[in-house]
Chain A
Amino acid sequence: MINLLRNKVIIVPAVLLLLALISPFVPSFILLLIIQVLIFGILALSVDLLLGYTGLPSLGQAAYLGMGAYLAAILVDRFEFGLSCDFPLVLVLGILIGAATAAFFGLFAIRATGVYFLIITLALGMVVWGVANRWNSMTGGDNGINVLSRPACGVDLSNDVVFFYVVFVVYSAALGGMYVLVNSPFGKSLMGIRESETRMQMLGYNTWFHKYLAFIIAGGYGGLSGVLWTHLNGIVTPEDVILTTSVDALLMVVLGGPGTLVGGAIGAMVVVGIREYLSTWVEWWQYVLGGVYVLTIYFLPEGLMGLPKLIKKRRPARKSEPPAEASSVET
Chain B
Amino acid sequence: MKRFQSKITGLVVCLAVAFAFTLVSRTAKAEELRIGFLTPLTGFFAQIGKDMRNGFQMYLDEQGGILAGAKIKLIVEDNLGKAGVSVRKANKLIRQDNVHMFIGGLLASTGYALAPVSTRNKVIYIAPISAADDLTQRQKKKYPYFIRTGWTSSQPSHPFGKWACEQGYKRIATIGADYAFGHETIGGFQKSFEDCGGKIVQKIWPKIGTIDFGPFIPLIKRDVDAVFTLMVGGMSLAFPKQYKAAGKTAPLLGGGTSADEFILPSMGDEAIGYVTSLQYSASLNTPKNIAFVKKYRKLYGKVPSYYSESNYTTAQWIHEVMKKTGGKWPGRTRFIEIFSKIRMDAVRGPVYLDQDLNPVQNIYLRKVARLKQFGYPKAELWNTVIKTYTNVSQYGDIGRAKFLKQPVYSRNFPPCKYCD
Contact = CB atoms under 8 A, between A and B. Distances in A.
Interface of A: 27-29, 32, 36, 136, 141-144, 146-149, 158, 233-235, 237, 239-240, 276, 279-280, 283, 286
Contacts of B109: 142-144, 237
Contacts of B119: 148
A158 B108 CA distance: 26
Contacts of A234: 87, 116-117, 120
B42 interface: yes
Contacts of B78: 279, 283
Given A234-B87, A237-B84, A280 B96 contact: yes
B113 A27 contact: no
B70 to A, nearest CB: 23
A286 B80 CA distance: 12
A280 B89 contact: yes
12 contacts: A27-B95, A142-B108, A143-B83, A143-B109, A143-B180, A144-B83, A144-B109, A146-B112, A147-B116, A148-B120, A235-B116, A237-B113
Contacts of A158: 120
B131 interface: no
A234 B114 CA distance: 10
A136 B408 CA distance: 14
B42 A233 contact: no
A147 B120 CA distance: 10
A143 B108 contact: yes
Give the interface SS of chain B, mostly helix, strand, loop or mixed.
helix
B95 A239 contact: no
Contacts of A144: 83, 109, 112-113
B260 to A, nearest CB: 21
A280 B115 CA distance: 21
A148 B180 CA distance: 21
Contact of A239 (B84, B96, B120): B84
Interface string B1-38: 00000000000000000000000000000000000000
Contacts of B41: 283
A34 B287 CA distance: 53
B92 A280 contact: yes
Contacts of B91: 29, 32
A146 B96 contact: no
Contacts of A29: 91-92, 95-96
A34 to B, nearest CB: 12
B132 interface: yes
Nearest to A229: B84
Given A144-B112, A234-B120, 11 more contacts: A29-B92, A32-B91, A141-B179, A143-B112, A234-B87, A235-B83, A237-B113, A240-B84, A280-B92, A283-B42, A283-B78
B180 A146 contact: no
A201 B92 CA distance: 52
B212 to A, nearest CB: 20
Interface in B86-132: 87-89, 91-92, 95-96, 108-109, 112-113, 115-117, 119-120, 132
A37 to B, nearest CB: 13
B87 A233 contact: yes
A235 B84 contact: yes
B341 interface: no
B380 interface: no
B82 interface: yes
A173 B308 CA distance: 51
Contacts of A147: 116
Contacts of A235: 83-84, 87, 113, 116
B95 A28 contact: yes
A235 B87 CA distance: 8
Contacts of A143: 83, 108-109, 112-113, 132, 180
Contacts of A233: 84, 87-88
B129 to A, nearest CB: 16
B142 interface: yes
Contacts of A32: 88, 91, 95
A151 B411 CA distance: 33
Contacts of B270: none
Nearest to A233: B87
A276 to B, nearest CB: 6
A141 B85 CA distance: 17
A114 to B, nearest CB: 31
Interface string B162-180: 0000000000000000011
Nearest to B81: A239
B353 to A, nearest CB: 23
Nearest to B112: A143
Query: Which 7 pairs show the lowest CB-CB distances between chains A and B?
Result: A29-B95, A29-B96, A28-B95, A237-B83, A143-B112, A146-B116, A239-B84
